[in-house]
């Protein structure tokens, strides 16, 4: 029985791939129903000679390589529940296969298999608050840091579960390596949620006084939060009014977390939501490769810096 050729060589069109599917269908029906090749070719509208030419065709090394690459790609894609797009699949396949792989090749194979990253975006709503303390935008969209624990960004985002119940996630992200330094999931969007996140972050570092940037949410503009930062000798920075891009890296992480985990599931309980967030943040910190980190995960990049 001839080998099935599922890989498409570089430069081959999707129409050629569809033509190959016709040949495979003829082969399958012939074997299952014992119908004549002549009849099946007439129904499909192709010359019988073309079918037999395909039948005797031997796959090229490139086609065999594409077949292997496609199998590994699909296995990885299903493992991560479809959250990876072309760039992420390319990064992971390069590491898994220890080969230089062009992202355009992966994009072509994804088109052939009919897969794409699962993406869903939701706009964030910003509650109005009366600030007790406002800081200048010291970060000024300079989102690069030369060393760990030099610049932190922080924010709170909302999740829904059960029957309209809400949970709130507070997190701190290090701009040097995009590591989530600390996070707390709670039932209420309040001061203790944010203060606990800061305390956990400070416990994880020693002799570091990072700049911390946030929006103008009521927790961050409170006098008590300012007192905590002063006690830790930390400088505070805040986004300008209505300029969410001033805290872009944190907004980007929320979008990634929700697209790659939260929007893919329905959560009945707080514990189910918490377990998935715990799992995802560990995956994000230790396993999710990032192109701007030279193809390393945040913790790998952080460890190399240390």
DSSP code per residue over 198-244? HHHHHHT-SS---EEEE---TTTTSHHHHHHHHHTT--EEEPPTT-G
List the domain boundaries for the chain.
14-113, 151-305
Of the ranges 108-117, 175-184, 186-195, which one carries the lowest mean pLDDT score? 108-117
Question: Mean pLDDT score of the chain, rounded to an integer?
Answer: 87
- Over range 263-272, report the average pLDDT: 94
Q: Looking at the predicted structure, is the pLDDT value of residue 1 above 50?
A: no
- Over range 156-179, report the average pLDDT: 95
- Over range 111-127, report the average pLDDT: 68
| Distances in whole angstroms, Cα of residue 1 to Cα of each of 4, 16, 39, 48 | 9, 22, 20, 18
Q: Looking at the predicted structure, is the pLDDT value of residue 256 above 80?
A: yes
Q: 101 CB contacts (<8 Å, ≥6 apart)? A: 69, 90, 93, 94
Q: Looking at the predicted structure, is the pLDDT value of residue 201 above 90?
A: yes
- Residue 180 — φ and ψ, nearest 5°? -80, 105
pLDDT of the residue at 7: 42
CA 213 – CA 239 distance, rounded (Å): 7
Q: Looking at the predicted structure, is the pLDDT value of residue 209 above 60?
A: yes
| CATH architecture, domain defined by 151-305 | 2-Layer Sandwich (3.30)
Q: 49 CB contacts (<8 Å, ≥6 apart)? A: none
- Over range 264-271, report the average pLDDT: 94
- Using the structure block, give the residue that is written with the tokens 């479809």: 82
């Amino acid at each position: 029985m001839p080998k099935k050729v599922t890989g498409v060589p570089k430069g081959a069109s999707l129409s050629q791939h569809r033509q190959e599917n016709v040949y495979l269908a003829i082969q399958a029906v012939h074997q299952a129903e014992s119908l004549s090749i002549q009849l099946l070719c007439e129904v499909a509208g192709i010359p019988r000679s073309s079918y037999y030419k395909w039948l005797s065709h031997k796959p090229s090394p490139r086609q065999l390589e594409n077949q292997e690459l496609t199998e590994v790609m699909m296995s990885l894609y299903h493992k991560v529940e479809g959250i990876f797009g072309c760039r992420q699949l390319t990064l992971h396949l390069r590491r898994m296969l220890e080969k230089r792989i062009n992202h355009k090749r992966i994009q072509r194979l994804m088109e052939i298999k009919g897969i794409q990253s699962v993406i869903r975006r939701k706009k964030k709503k910003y509650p109005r608050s009366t600030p007790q303390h406002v800081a200048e935008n010291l970060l000024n969209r300079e989102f690069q840091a030369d060393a760990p624990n030099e610049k932190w960004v922080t924010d709170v985002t909302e999740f829904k579960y059960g029957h309209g119940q809400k949970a709130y996630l507070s997190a701190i992200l290090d701009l040097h390596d995009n590591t989530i330094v600390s996070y707390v999931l709670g039932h209420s969007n309040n001061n203790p949620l944010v203060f606990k996140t800061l305390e956990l972050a400070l416990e994880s570092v020693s002799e570091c006084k990072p700049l911390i940037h946030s929006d103008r949410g009521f927790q961050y503009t409170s006098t008590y939060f300012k007192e905590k930062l002063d006690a830790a000798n930390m400088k505070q920075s805040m986004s300008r009014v209505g300029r969410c891009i001033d805290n872009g890296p944190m907004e980007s992480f929320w979008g990634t977390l929700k697209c790659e985990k939260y929007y893919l599931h329905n959560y009945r309980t707080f514990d189910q939501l918490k377990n998935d967030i715990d799992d995802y943040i560990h995956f994000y910190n230790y396993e999710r490769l990032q192109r701007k980190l030279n193809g390393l995960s945040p913790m790998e990049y952080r460890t190399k810096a240390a």
